[in-house]
């Protein structure tokens, strides 16, 4: 295993609750598998998967203070500070491990905002986060999807999961996420 992956794994394990650490491991594993399937950098996928929620357990006040310290701004960031965790993850990792990668940062950032401009790595992290079940065991149907669906179809499935979750828990849905959803629902005709 790469030294950066080992260091980040140790940091994530130290910072997060056991449940969220297990989630991060599962997202990293799924992201690495998808990156290999789609011919992308598996190392970056694993790093982004491992680190994507590293600041998620900051309190609302800590999240806002940390974002302010690093001049991070997001529309609605004041009202929904937990959205900021995708944005603050890279700053935290840089501070603790002296490691920064633009693509890894972008993928972690967009897992909460679902920017309109998402590259394949961004989508892979979003998919891994949106599809990996809480108990970490994929159903046969999910496994088949991950092995057979093309990237945008997987992205559509993850987006539906995340939008459903936001609706159920009363969280905001970013405009870009809804735009993606509408675009993909037309292509996949509500499948």
Looking at the Cβ atoms of 25 and 40, the one nearer to Fe ion is 25
Residue with tokens 């491991």: 25
User: 152: closest CA among 134, 127, 135?
Assistant: 127
Looking at the Cβ atoms of 105 and 129, the one nearer to Fe ion is 129
H-assigned helices in the chain = 3-15, 18-37, 42-51, 60-69, 85-97, 102-113, 120-131, 140-148, 151-169, 175-188
Question: In angstroms, what is the minimal distance from the CB of 9 to Fe ion?
Answer: 15
Instruction: Report the C-alpha gap between 14 and 18 in whole angstroms.
Output: 9
Looking at the Cβ atoms of 21 and 156, the one nearer to Fe ion is 21
Q: Is 99 exposed, middle or buried (0-12, 13-18, 19+ CB in 10 A)?
A: middle
DSSP state for residue 79 in the 8-state scheme: T
Question: In angstroms, what is the minimal distance from the CB of 186 to Fe ion?
Answer: 27
DSSP state for residue 84 in the 8-state scheme: G
Question: In angstroms, what is the minimal distance from the CB of 108 to Fe ion?
Answer: 9
Question: In angstroms, what is the minimal distance from the CB of 166 to Fe ion?
Answer: 12
Looking at the Cβ atoms of 22 and 185, the one nearer to Fe ion is 22
Question: In angstroms, what is the minimal distance from the CB of 150 to Fe ion?
Answer: 23
Contact set with Fe ion (CB under 5 A) = 53, 129
Looking at the Cβ atoms of 40 and 158, the one nearer to Fe ion is 158
Question: In angstroms, what is the minimal distance from the CB of 189 to Fe ion?
Answer: 29
Please give the full DSSP string across 98-147, using - where no structure is assigned. ----HHHHHHHHHHHH--S---HHHHHHHHHHHHS-TTS---HHHHHHHH
Looking at the Cβ atoms of 122 and 129, the one nearer to Fe ion is 129
């Amino acid at each position: 295993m790469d030294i950066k992956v080992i260091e980040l794994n140790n940091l994530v394990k130290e910072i997060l609750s056991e449940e969220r650490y297990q989630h991060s491991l599962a997202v990293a594993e799924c992201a690495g598998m998808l990156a290999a399937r789609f011919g992308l950098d598996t190392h970056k996928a694993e790093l982004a998967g491992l680190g994507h929620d590293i600041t998620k357990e900051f309190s609302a006040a800590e999240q806002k203070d940390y974002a302010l310290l690093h001049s991070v701004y997001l529309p609605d960031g004041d009202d929904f500070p937990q959205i900021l965790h995708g944005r603050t993850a890279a700053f935290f990792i840089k501070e603790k491990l002296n490691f920064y990668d633009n693509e890894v940062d972008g993928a972690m950032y967009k897992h909460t905002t679902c920017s309109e401009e998402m590259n394949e790595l961004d989508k892979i992290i979003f998919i891994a986060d949106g599809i990996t079940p809480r108990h970490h065991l994929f159903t046969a149907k999910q496994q088949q999807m991950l092995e057979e669906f093309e990237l945008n179809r997987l992205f559509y499935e993850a987006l539906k999961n995340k939008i459903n979750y936001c609706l159920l828990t009363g969280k905001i849905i970013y405009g870009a996420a809804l735009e993606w959803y509408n675009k993909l629902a037309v292509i996949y005709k509500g499948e």
